[in-house]
Homo-oligomer: A and B are copies of this chain.
Amino acid sequence: MIIVLGSVLIRQGAIGEATKLSLEHVYRSRTEPGCISHSVQHDCENSQRLVFVEEWSDLAALHVHFQVPESRAFVGALTVLATEKPKMAIHQVQQAGP
């Protein structure tokens, strides 16, 4: 399994629009092959920061996701609303357990 952790700091006045766009992206992504979970949160330390947590079955599914035109359009739109380049880390899970 793959875990994707992302975050982006949104400029003042744009968090409402950024959250709306992010939720649309979340709902769309959940319907894609290999998507196990996809969510967006507001950082409790800074409500202008959006935090994404995603789980994908494998890297191939994730790479297909990156190529979906709506995914690319979303990243572009979010970047316009941000004060920094969105950050993303991709982690390959070896195992899960207690």
Contact = CB atoms under 8 A, between A and B. Distances in A.
Interface of A: 1, 3, 5, 19, 22-23, 26, 39-45, 47, 50-51, 53, 89-98
A76 B53 CA distance: 25
Give the 5 A-B residue pairs with the shortest CB-CB distance, closest first. Answer: A41-B41, A94-B94, A91-B93, A92-B94, A42-B42
B98 A90 contact: yes
10 contacts: A22-B44, A23-B44, A41-B42, A42-B42, A42-B47, A53-B53, A90-B97, A92-B93, A92-B94, A92-B95
Contacts of A50: 44
SS of A interface (majority): strand
A22 B39 CA distance: 20
Contact of A39 (B40, B45, B92): B45
